[in-house]
Amino acid sequence: MDKLAQYLPPTSGGNLPNWMLFVSGLAIFNGVQNYLTTRLTAQVYARRPTWVNPLQARLFGVWTLMSAFVRLYAAYHIHSKPIYDLTLISYVLALGHFASEALVFRTVGLKGVFFPFVVASLYWMITQYDFYVRL
């Protein structure tokens, strides 16, 4: 177990880095699966599943992978203000995307919005900003 612990991010007394590592792992899976199939992405955009095509899935995949690696990097560099801020922005953009798809474009149903809002660490990051960011 100690060998595994050496690869975990430093927590500095909080759990946000480990949560971000977990969320990044989920996002990497999601990003890769977008290159292999459109099935799961069509479930997210369940109100308009016919709009999901391989090109759209791959674009969503690369966007998800980019976000995953920003958050993965932040898990290990949680005290860096620029990295923390960039990660916050990545959550704002992701939640903005899903909110607009649900409310404006009507492509995402409640099930498709629920998971991104649950895993998003935006509130946690905002409320713990001063705890983690050291200027």
Task: Tell me, yes or no, whether 6 lies in a domain.
Answer: no
Residue from 51, 45, 60 nearest 109 by CA = 45
Residue from 58, 59, 53, 62 nearest 27 by CA = 62
Task: Tell me, yes or no, whether 121 lies in a domain.
Answer: yes
Residue 117 has pLDDT above 80, yes or no: no
Residues 20 and 74 sit within 8 Å (Cβ to Cβ): yes
Task: Tell me, yes or no, whether 73 lies in a domain.
Answer: yes
pLDDT computed for residue 135 by the predictor = 59
Which residues, 6+ apart, have CB-to-CB distance to 12 below 8 Å?
Answer: 78, 79, 132
Q: What percent of the chain has pLDDT over 70?
A: 98
Residues 109 and 46 sit within 8 Å (Cβ to Cβ): yes
pTM: 0.88
Task: Tell me, yes or no, whether 21 lies in a domain.
Answer: yes
pLDDT computed for residue 97 by the predictor = 92
Task: Tell me, yes or no, whether 2 lies in a domain.
Answer: no
Task: Tell me, yes or no, whether 80 lies in a domain.
Answer: yes
Q: How many CB atoms are closer than 10 A to CB 27?
A: 23
Task: Tell me, yes or no, whether 30 lies in a domain.
Answer: yes
Find the domain containing 73 and state its range.
14-132
Average pLDDT of the residues in 105-132? 86
Task: Tell me, yes or no, whether 1 lies in a domain.
Answer: no
- Number of domains forming the structure of the chain: 1
